[in-house]
Amino acid sequence: MSMSDDDRPVRKVTHEIGCDLSMLSADELASRIALLKEEISRLEEEVTRKGKSRSAAEQLFR
């Protein structure tokens, strides 16, 4: 029995920093840019959260 395209698992788009981009289409590059922008936002939110936690701890111990 052969698998149809709909039955195949969807491969999650990932990006490895420094990988060869020459074989990717413009759409694939745009998808990776969106993925990386989302990750940057997630990282910035975590930096902000940790900064607030640190400030709260410093206020407690003053």
23 vs 6: CA distance, rounded Å: 24
4 vs 10: CA distance, rounded Å: 12
Tens of pLDDT along the chain (62 residues)?
A: 455 667 777 777 788 899 999 999 999 999 999 999 999 999 999 999 999 888 777 777 77
Task: Give this prediction's pTM.
Answer: 0.65
> Which domain, by its residues, includes 43?
24-62
Number of independent structural domains in the chain: 1
pLDDT the model gives residue 3: 56
- Residue type for 61, please? F
Decide if 5 is inside a domain: no
Decide if 6 is inside a domain: no
Decide if 47 is inside a domain: yes
Coil, strand or helix: which one is 50? helix
pLDDT the model gives residue 2: 56
7, 8, 20, 39 from 16: Cα distances, Å: 27, 23, 9, 13
- Both tokens of 24, joined, read 């990717």
Decide if 42 is inside a domain: yes
